[in-house]
A and B are shown apart, each in its own frame.
Chain A
Amino acid sequence: MANLTASKVLAPVGAAGTLFAFALDVLRGLFRRPFQLREFIQQAWFIASVTIIPTALVAIPFGAVIALQVGGLIKQFGAQSFTGAASVLAVVQQAAPIATALLIAGAGGSAIAADLGARKIREELDAMMVLGIDPIQRLVVPRVLAAMLVSLFLNGLVSVVGVAGGYVFNVLLQDGTPGAYIASFTALAQLPDLWIGLVKAVIFGLIAAVVASYKGMNAGGGPKGVGDAVNESVVITFVLLFVVNFVLSAIYLQVVPPKTG
């Protein structure tokens, strides 16, 4: 009985362990040749094509909401000229990587999990292993790299679209002055903010793709298993992303002191 309880309590630890072991396998596969360039390009193109438009659409309200909230608050301090500064900081440092992560996990990751899950239950992955090909090196590594690359670019896209959205809302709805918005860009934001945003996006892309691949490759029990795998991969990715984002932000704010005035 004690044994049973122990094994139930420890089950999540075991799951986390196998996920981590899988991530290490992917890391090892990264250095194995030949690199699957074609698969990488195809996957990068695919992930980009399913994420670009939704990301842009999400980024506009994201920037707008930040501009509206911050704008309202800042007006009470009488510091309207800093609206641009605040919205750039918030978008570049936090909103862009998070929006990227949600889209990469929701659109890209679910597609990866569904694809690999379907291959798993059709025994394609088994067939591949029997043909002497490691599916991690052949299928997972290109997908992980593709997701990381696309995250990097999506992050840039969200930053630009978000800031532009903030600009439009600030100028049109809140009677902000265009000049002040743009001039205050560098008042609070600094270059390291951009770097941390990019680093976060790449790490989020990595996590989303690894979790999705892991869940897909371990799908079981027919078509329902694939659905479950997709579902679980998205939920697990979201939770992981928010935890990792918190940790990274905390470290960053300690290491890089915020710019003052």
Chain B
Amino acid sequence: MGTEIKVENLTKSFGKSLIWGDVTLTIPAGEICVMLGPSGTGKSVFLKTLIGLLKPDRGSIVIQGTDIASCSEKELYEVRKLFGVLFQDGAMFGSMNLYDNIAFPLREHTKKSESEIRNIVMEKMDLVGLLGTEDKLPGEISGGMRKRAGIARGLVLDPEIVLFDEPDSGLDPVRTAFLNQLIVDLNAQIDATFLIVTHDINTARTVPDNIGLLYHKHLAMFGPREMLLSSEEPVVRQFLNAQRVGPIGMSEEKDADELAAEADQELPPLPPIPMQLEPSNGIPRRSQREPGAWCKENGITPPPGSFEENMSMTTAV
């Protein structure tokens, strides 16, 4: 299960303003990836381009041999059946209750009987902890519940690729932690390819197998989690550790003067790399790797204190 997404030289602009250019990366099958970036760097645009809601100016996105950037509308609708997408606010259909919302893709795309549909919907609602709220309308439940309902609806067609658009925005830290655990458990269970778009650093540090960073209209870096967390590259380092010192400024990148003023400022040492979040049943995911494996292979010494059990989840900045 799980499908690889091959993105090559992807460029997107709105009118004259370039959003990002020449993004090339391969999202490996069955792994969890996080796409990070400061606000307004086009993370959501990237996600929408991946599902073909926006057409890129150049480049290709190949999924199972189909190039989403250039295929016909008919092929696009076919390829989209491989996707499950969680939109920022869940994007539940306001006129239907949760049960009908989650059953919607099944009723549209399959010839399953109502009792089969009922079984699947109940199973998915149980998975995201929403049993008992079937008759509620999306307007009557909290944002966190809407997000979870959105996940349930995204999962009913057994997708091979699941995309999350800021699953943690507007949620409190506890709910975010639960949601992250849910994402890891889901990946262990269905082995699909996961891509999470977020700017929550805690999520980025602990959940994924791979991290990508969009910055200044290009993909600054994409690679295994430990590679980015141990990276000395200024942008990556600044963003993943939520520091003020570095090339990213309040509105856009800082200008030369500001950077020069910071030049002799001492950077705080890299914080230790936390353990990756494990599935709650303790059975490792298929794409999960030993803590520190990447660092060992590439001869990089992780920051002191890395991969210790019971380490504080949040980074001390």
Binding site for B on A (CB under 8 A): 118-119, 122-124, 126-134
Contact = CB atoms under 8 A, between A and B. Distances in A.
Interface in B52-91: 53, 77-78, 80-81, 83, 85, 87-89, 91
Contacts of A122: 89, 91, 94
Among A119, A122, A129, A131, the one with the most B-chain Cβ atoms within 10 Å of its Cβ is A131
A146 B48 CA distance: 32
A134 B88 CA distance: 21
A127 B83 CA distance: 11
Given A122-B94, A124-B94, A130 B83 contact: yes
A24 to B, nearest CB: 13
A131 B78 CA distance: 10
A119 B108 contact: no
Given A127-B150, A131-B104, 5 more contacts: A126-B87, A131-B153, A132-B77, A132-B78, A134-B77
A252 B23 CA distance: 59
A130 B80 contact: yes
B138 to A, nearest CB: 9
Contacts of B10: none
A119 B77 contact: no
26 contacts: A118-B94, A119-B93, A122-B89, A122-B91, A122-B94, A123-B88, A123-B89, A123-B91, A124-B91, A124-B92, A124-B94, A126-B87, A127-B91, A129-B53, A130-B80, A130-B83, A130-B85, A131-B105, A131-B108, A131-B157, A132-B77, A132-B78, A132-B80, A132-B105, A132-B108, A133-B108
Contacts of B81: 132
Contacts of A126: 48, 53, 87, 91
B229 to A, nearest CB: 31
A44 to B, nearest CB: 16
Given A126-B48, A126-B53, A132 B91 contact: no
A132 B109 contact: yes
B121 interface: no
B108 A124 contact: no
A116 to B, nearest CB: 12
A203 B104 CA distance: 33
A127 B78 CA distance: 15
B192 interface: no
B196 interface: no
B221 interface: no
Contacts of B51: 130
A130 B53 contact: yes
B94 A123 contact: no
A144 to B, nearest CB: 19
A127 B47 CA distance: 13
B167 to A, nearest CB: 14
Contacts of A134: 77
A14 B88 CA distance: 32
Contacts of B157: 131
A132 B104 CA distance: 11
A123 B163 CA distance: 15
B93 A124 contact: yes
B266 to A, nearest CB: 43
B87 A123 contact: yes
A26 B104 CA distance: 22
A203 to B, nearest CB: 28
A86 to B, nearest CB: 47
Contacts of A131: 80, 104-105, 108-109, 153, 157
Contacts of A132: 77-78, 80-81, 105, 108-109
Contacts of A129: 53, 80
The 9 A-B residue pairs whose C-beta atoms are closest, nearest first, are A127-B91, A123-B91, A123-B87, A130-B85, A132-B80, A131-B105, A132-B77, A132-B81, A124-B91
A127 B108 contact: no
